[in-house]
Amino acid sequence: MPSWAPGAISATIGIFCYIGAWVFYRVLKKWEVVAPCFMLVGTMGIGGSQLGQLAHFSVDWLQTMLVAQIGKYTGATLTGVVGLVSALYFLIHVLKDRKVKKVTLVSAVIAPLTVASIPGPAGAIIGGAFGLLGALVSAIIGGILGIH
């Protein structure tokens, strides 16, 4: 198997998840709360490819620049800001309010790439929650497609 094949398979699953998210968000309005979960899993899938490496690099750069700017004005460094904001926005709007806006979909794309930057127990809990949600949606998709 070529060295790019596992990444290509992962990216393909991510793209199918993005297509599914679009269907749930635009066509099946009654089930639109499922769309951000598909976006989350789609990003996780693409995160395993070469494109995901570029996305991780971009997020790390953004995080470094943001921490430097916050540190310049506050005197303290605050790591994990982007991850914490995107994760909390996603969790509050999807799980609590059950309202899906375009910003919710964007947070579903950004959150898997940024939760790893949240330090300490909060990062472990939020990262675990996103991993569990991603595994659950992946298992459901695999069951529907007959993948064991």
Residue 15: both structure tokens together = 């793209």
Average pLDDT, the chain: 78
* Count: domains in the chain: 1
Residue-level pLDDT at 1: 58
Residue-level pLDDT at 76: 57
- Residues sharing a CB contact under 8 Å with residue 122, sequence separation 6 or more, in sequence order: 80, 84
Q: What's the CA dihedral at 72, 91, 60, 105 to 10 degrees?
A: -110
Can you tell me the distance from the alpha carbon of 33 to that of 91, in angstroms, rounded to the nearest whole number?
A: 11
Query: pLDDT 10s digit of each residue in the chain, 148 long?
Result: 566 666 777 778 788 888 988 888 888 877 888 888 888 888 888 877 777 778 778 877 877 787 777 777 765 556 677 778 888 888 888 777 777 888 888 888 888 878 877 778 888 888 888 788 777 877 777 777 676 5
pLDDT per residue as tens digits for the range 105-132: 888 888 887 887 777 888 888 888 878 8
Residue-level pLDDT at 74: 67
Can you tell me the distance from the alpha carbon of 55 to that of 118, in angstroms, rounded to the nearest whole number?
A: 17
CA proximity to 130, closest of 100, 70, 78, 89: 89
Domain encompassing residue 107 = 5-145
Residue-level pLDDT at 127: 82
